[in-house]
Structures are given as C-alpha cells and as structure tokens.
Chains A and B, each alone.
Chain A
Amino acid sequence: MNSIYKYFADIFRGAKSLLIGMSVTGGYFFSPRAIVTQQYPENRKTLKMFDRFKGEVLMPHDTNNQHRCTGCGICEVNCPNGTIEVISDRIETPEGKKKRILDKHIYHLSMCSFCSLCIKTCPSDALEWGQIFEHAVFDRAKLTKILNKPGSSIIKDID
C-alpha cells in the first residue's frame, strides 16, 4: 500500500514542480515589460557608454591642437604586448637646450589588450580612454592609429 501511495505521490509532486517551473516562463511570456534586449543599431543616438569605458586609447588635444605627451616612451615600456610605439625627435630649443619632442605616437588597436597600464603609468597624463567601441574595419591596417594629430605640439609647461 505504501508503494502505491509513493507512486501517486511521486506523480503529483513531479507535476507540481513542473507547473511551478511553467509559471515562471509563463509569467515572463505575459509580461512584455520584462524584455531586456537593447535594440542596438536603432539606439545608437541614445546609447551612452560609461565614462570609464575602455574603448580605445586616445591622446586628448586642446583647442590649440596641443597635447601633453613628452615622448618619453614610458607607455611603450609598460605596454605588455607592444601595442604602442613612440617615435620621438631630438631638437634644440631656442635657449640651446636639447629637448625630446614627440614625432609619432603609434597605437596598434588590433594588439591592445586594454590593461590600462599605459594610461596609469603616464607621468604627464597624456593618454586617456575613449568611449568609441565600433572599431570593426575591413582592413587591419586601419587599426593602427597615430594618436597625436598632425601639426600638434606639446603644451608649454610640461616637462
């Protein structure tokens, strides 16, 4: 008798657990407000990434087309996978001192692993994260970027 009771108890317990499970999915089926999908290309205008989002490394320039990079190459040393190449020139200042200025700050986005070490270690805060994330291109060469804008120079008081 006990086994018969167990047989039917099993069936009812099982059916109950299944119905509980169905109530969850059924509940979501009838609550369209629970939908969490972001409609990406449509919401491009309103889509705002967080301020600290790591999209790409940028070198901020001010209105006079001046940046803060001294071309010291610390970011290049600290980069774990050779993403950054700093090419600097030695020039002679009007005062007769020898000075190093930045020629090209080359950034290979395709190799970057977004570890933030270059930005963290930069002594003059010349680099920052950009929030653009749509980096897909057809040509890999386009992912190699020169961060300092053409004709830019260094802000005066940085050494």
Chain B
Amino acid sequence: MAFNIYDFTTFTQSIDKALYEWLPPFWALVVEMTIIGLVFLIFYAVVGLFLVYAERKVCAFMQNRVGPNRVGPYGVFQTIADFIKLLMKELVYIKNSDKLLFNIAPFIVIIASFMAIAAIPFAKGLHAIDFDIGIMYVVAVTSLGVVGVLLAGWSSNNKYSLIGAMRSGAQIISYELSVGLSLLTIIVLAGTMQFSQIVEMQSTGWFIFKGHIPAFIAFVIFLIASTAETNRGPFDLAEAESELTAGFHTEYSGIKFAFFFLAEYMNMFIVASIAATVFLGGWMPFHIYGWEGFNHIMDFIPPFVWYAGKTAFIIWMMMWFKWTFPRLRIDQLLTLEWKYLLPINLVNILIMALIVLMGWHF
C-alpha cells in the first residue's frame, strides 16, 4: 500500500532498538520516556497556544470582527504574549482556602489532559503507547479532570466556585455515559479497543460511512457529549460567565489560571482527536471503493495531514457550537442527557449490534 512510505514504525523501532543496545534496559526506558515526555510537553504547549489563537480568530470572524491582529503578523504571537503576561502575574492566595487542594487542583486538571495524549495515534507508528484498551484508557483518563475541577471549586472558599464545581460534577458524570456509549457503538462495529487496529480497519472506509445511520448518530452524540465533557460551548455551566463570573476558577490567577485555560483547550483537542480517529478514520486517507486513481492521489497526502485536518475540522465544529448557541440551564442539561441522549444511545448500540450480527455493514 502506498501510505507505507509514511510509515513511522521502522523509524520509532530503530530508535528504540538503538537505545536498548547502548544502555541497560532500565536506563533505556528512562531515556525513552524522557524523550517522549519532552516531545509531548512541547507539542502540548504549541497546540494549546495555537488553539487559543484559533478560537479567538474563529469567534472573531463569526462576530464580524478581526480578532487578535497586533502582536506579530495576523496576531499569531498574541497568545504567547498573553502567556508571558500570565506567567508574570501574581499568584493570589485566598484567605481561608484549602491551600494544598487549591494548589493541586490545576495540576490534576492539566495532568489528566496530558495523559490522554499518550494513546492518540498521530500517524502510522507515531504514538507513544498502543494500548489494546486504548479507547477505555482515554475515556478513563479524561474523566479524571473533573476531580481537579471539583477540588478547585471546593478549596477556593468562594460560593461561585463551589456552585460551578458542583455543576461541573453533575455534568461530567452524566455526559461521561454518553461519551462511553457512543464510543461503544463503534467498538461493537470494530470489535477492538486498540486505536491502531481501529484506524487500520478504516482503510476501506471510515466508520462513519461503514456503520450506516447508527454510526452517524453515534458521531453526533459524541460531538454533543464531548463538548459537554470539556465544559465548552453551550454546556459551559461550570464557568457560566454571566451567572457565576468565572465558575470554578474564579479565584485563580496567573499561571494557575493559565493551566485551567490550557487544559480546556487541550481537552478539546483530545476529544476532537478521538472523534477523528474513531469516526473519521484517524490518519487514514479518504478512499472511495473502486476509484483506484483517486485513492492513489489521496495516499500521497501524509497521514499526519489527514489526522490534523480531521481534528481541526471537529475543533472548528465545536467552536462553531460555542459561538452560536446560548447556554443551557443545569436541569435542561441533565434532561438532554438522561431523556434524550442516553436512550437514543442505548437503542443505537442495539441497532449497531444487529447490523454487525447480520453483516449489513460494508
């Protein structure tokens, strides 16, 4: 197959092999982990800063504005300038707050989002760990973030923060179900939880097309639920600027606030990556069965570009939601989940199981 020219497996394996030849196994592992950690740290910072910039530009265009345009060409360095500003800001300590939890909370949030990157396949052979329960790992890890949010709200000694945190708790626990179930629909179709295999299986057609209508419904539900899970868009009740000033991070300043801010965007990036990988074929090029010439051309576009393009499209969709819709109320939020998304999801899985059993999928 043509996309073998972009196969990173040999590249990563040769590094791995070389390291193990030079060093004792323990140190080889340490060095390997450090390299991966550093690479991801840089990746995390770059993507986070770029996403903040992208959001500001996207929302500006939707609102007939220009957006950031002062720092650097088209304002591309605006977020870096903001980040430097936040670094230099004073960290305000709140009277009667729970110091330990107050300080830990942003780290929990950011670590939870950081851990999830490990399992995402960026291209063939380009992922940190290829778990055989990859999807489950990602779902488990991303939902850890709510602990940080709850702690932040609880320890801030602020009533707005507390309300925001409690809202966030109720919201994420509910929407976690829908995220899990909509992914489960695809797992039923794929028969595996391993990301690399899920992507391989989509070489003949993305799951959103393969799985007929149930896959599409699962995709829509995943979009809605993951938007809610990342505390964004019409579901940003935990922050709810016009109700709770800033919700759970009202009392945070400086770099700790930046952590929350960055984590929100990285969570968005992660769920967008998962959606791209599971529903839209990850780094797999777009193929139409029978059109050999067309497929061949598509193969020459590097898989990383495919992956980034799909992720960017989903992120753009989520931004589009956020900058169009008004916010839901907390009871409507839960109604949407328990009365609409969850029952539809359950029926959807049954239909998908039926399709797989009868072999109706492509």
Say yes or no: is B61 at the interface (Cβ < 8 Å to chain A). yes
Q: Which of A27-35, A46-54, A93-101, A119-127 contacts B (4 or more CB under 8 A)?
A: A27-35
**What residues of B have a CB within 8 angstroms of the CB of A11 in the complex?**
340
| A35 CB contact (under 8 Å) in B58, B64, B325, B340 | B64
Residue of B62, B65, B69, B340 touching A25 (CB-CB under 8 A): B62
Residue of A nearest to B324 (CB): A25
Question: Contact between B325 and A28 (Cβ–Cβ < 8 Å)?
Answer: no
Listed in ascending order, the chain B residues whose CB lies under 8 Å from chain A are 58, 61-66, 69, 320-321, 323-325, 340
A18 to chain B, nearest CB (A): 7
Measured in the bound complex, the distance between the Cα atoms of B325 and A32 in whole Å is 21
For the complex, what is the distance from the CA of A45 to the CA of B323, rounded to whole Å?
34
Asked if A137 is at the interface (CB within 8 A of a chain B CB), the reply is no
Shortest CB-to-CB span from A34 to chain B, Å, is 5
Q: Knowing A18-B325, A21-B324, A22-B320 touch, does A28 contact B64 (C-beta < 8 A)?
A: yes
- With a cutoff of 8 Å between Cβ atoms, the chain B residues found around residue A24 in the complex are 324
- CB proximity to B under 8 Å, residues A1-43: 11, 18, 21-22, 24-26, 28-29, 32, 34-37, 39
CA distance in complex: A35, B60 (Å): 9
Q: Is the CB of A29 within 8 A of B62?
A: yes
Alpha-carbon distance A46/B58, docked complex (angstroms): 28
Beta-carbon contact of A25 and B323 below 8 Å: yes
In the complex, the chain B residue whose C-beta lies closest to that of A30 is B61
A29 adjacent to B58 (CB under 8 Å): yes
Would you call A37 and B65 a contact (CB within 8 A)?
yes
Is there contact, CB below 8 Å, between A29 and B325?
A: no
Please measure, in the bound complex, the distance between the C-alpha atom of A151 and the C-alpha atom of B224, giving whole angstroms. 74
Q: Which residues of A contact B324 (CB under 8 A)?
A: 18, 21-22, 24-25
Extra contacts, 10 of them, besides A22-B324, A37-B64 (Cβ < 8 A), are A11-B340, A21-B325, A28-B61, A28-B62, A28-B63, A29-B62, A29-B320, A34-B64, A35-B61, A35-B65
Interface of B is mostly: loop
Count of CB-CB pairs between chains A and B under 8 Å: 36
- Complex contacts, A26 vs chain B, CB 8 Å: 62, 320
Interchain residue pairs with CB less than 8 A apart (20): A11-B340, A18-B324, A18-B325, A21-B324, A21-B325, A22-B321, A24-B324, A25-B62, A25-B323, A28-B61, A28-B62, A28-B63, A28-B64, A29-B62, A29-B320, A32-B61, A35-B64, A35-B65, A36-B65, A39-B66
Complex CA distance for A26 and B61, rounded to whole angstroms: 9
CA distance A36 to B67 in the complex (A): 11
B219 to chain A, nearest CB (A): 14
Q: Please measure, in the bound complex, the distance between the C-alpha atom of A34 and the C-alpha atom of B65, giving whole angstroms.
A: 8
A21 to B323, CA, bound (A): 10
B329 to chain A, nearest CB (A): 15
Q: How far is the CA of A35 from the CA of B66 in the complex (A)?
A: 7
0/1 per residue, A81-115, Cβ < 8 Å to B? 00000000000000000000000000000000000
**Whose C-beta in chain A lies nearest to the C-beta of B66?**
A37
| Nearest-CB residue, chain A, relative to B316 | A29
Q: Contacts of A34 on B, CB cut-off 8 Å? A: 64
When the two chains form their complex, are residues B320 and A25 in contact, meaning their CB atoms are under 8 A apart? yes
In the complex, what's the smallest C-beta–C-beta distance from B333 to chain A, in angstroms? 14
**CA of A36 to CA of B66, assembled, Å:** 8
CA separation between A35 and B325, bound complex, in Å?
21
- Cα(A29)–Cα(B69), bound, Å: 17
Bound state CA distance, A28 and B325, in angstroms?
15
Query: How far does the alpha carbon of A39 sit from the alpha carbon of B323 in the complex, in Å?
Result: 23
| Nearest-Cβ distance from residue A130 to partner chain B, whole angstroms | 29
In the bound complex, how far is the Cα of B65 from the Cα of A37, in angstroms?
6
CA distance A9 to B112 in the complex (A): 39
**A residues less than 8 Å from B66 (CB atoms):** 35, 37, 39
Q: Smallest distance from the beta carbon of B152 to chain A beta carbons, Å?
A: 31
The distance from the CB of A138 to the nearest CB of chain B, in whole angstroms, is 22
Q: Which residues of B contact A28 (CB under 8 A)?
A: 61-64
- Smallest beta-carbon distance A65→chain B, Å: 43
Chain A hits for B58, CB < 8 A: 29
Considering the chains assembled together, what is the distance between the CA atoms of A34 and B62 in angstroms? 10
Q: Name the residue of chain B whose CB is nearest to the CB of A38.
A: B66
B58's closest neighbor in chain A, by CB?
A: A29
User: Nearest 6 pairs between A and B by C-beta?
Assistant: A25-B62, A25-B324, A37-B66, A29-B62, A29-B61, A34-B64
Which residues from chain A contact B61 at a C-beta distance below 8 Å?
28-29, 32, 35
B342 to chain A, nearest CB (A): 13
Choose among B321, B323, B324 the residue with the greatest number of A CB atoms under 10 Å from its CB.
B324
The CA of A18 and the CA of B234, in the complex, are separated in Å by 11
Of all chain B residues, which has the CB nearest A20?
Answer: B324
Q: Which of B58, B63, B69 has the most CB of A within 10 A?
A: B63
Smallest CB separation, B67 vs chain A (Å): 9
